[in-house]
Amino acid sequence: MSHHLFLLSPSDTPIYSLTHYSTRLVQTTTSTLSSNLPTWSTSAFAGTLTALSGASSATQSHHVQGGGVRMGGGQDRHVIQMIANASLDVIEDVMRKESAMYLKSVDKFNEWTVSAFITPGNMKFILLHENKNDDGIRSFFHDVWELYLKTMLNPFHTAHSPIRSTVFDARVRASAKKYL
């Protein structure tokens, strides 16, 4: 089960992205589609493709995903990014109505849920995930927010430019491991 994190500036330029493979053993909730997937096609792309083509595979008893299941390679990136981009519109709508920073799940796409977090400076943190994990995600977002603030205070960092610091990367990964 993996998570994809994207940090976007107010002008929607990508500042940072991370893919995290969670090693947590979680029961996959039986959503109508994921349980219909044959075991070999566990990649997000396949799941979406299957859904799009309307295929109905043999019913599969819901399986527990454990360990760091490696999702299929480069193909998935495109889908993930498409999902993330598509959710931006929804986020902007919700942004206008809600004043809270943590917008829970704003969008759902087959098995992927998109959660968003808007900072006071209008930075968008977007997380794609498959499982419901509100508290963990909220804590994770707050952690990322603090790390982001520290990066902003670095005089060598230009605002809204991609974050390349290895320290930031390492800390975000550690936080992801802790909460997700």
What is the contact surface with another protein in residues (CB under 8 A)?
150-151, 153-157, 165, 167
**Residue recorded with tokens 């430019």:** 161
Instruction: Tell me whether residue 36 or residue 165 sits nearer to another protein (CB atom).
Output: 165
26 secondary structure, DSSP code? B
142 vs 171 by CB, closer to another protein: 171
| Lookup: tokens for 120 | 């006071």
Q: Considering beta carbons, is residue 108 or 173 the nearer one to another protein? A: 173
Quick one: 32 or 158, whose CB is closer to another protein?
158
Task: Report strand pairing: 112-118 vs 124-129.
Answer: antiparallel
Q: Nearest 5°: phi and psi at 165?
A: -65, 130
Residue 167 Cβ vs another protein, minimum distance, rounded to whole Å: 6
67 dihedral zone (left: phi>0; alpha: psi -120 to 50; beta): left
**Adjacent-strand bridge partners of 19:** 4
Select 115 or 151, whichever has its Cβ closest to another protein.
Answer: 151
* Nearest distance in Å: CB 99, another protein: 27
Bridge partner list, 96? none
In the complex, minimum distance from the CB of residue 156 to another protein, in angstroms, rounded to a whole number = 5
Tokens 């490696």 sit at which residue? 70
CB of 154 to another protein, least distance (A): 5
Min dist CB 107 to another protein, Å, is 34
* Non-local CB neighbours of 129 within 8 Å, separated by 6+ positions: 1, 3, 4, 112, 113, 115, 137, 180
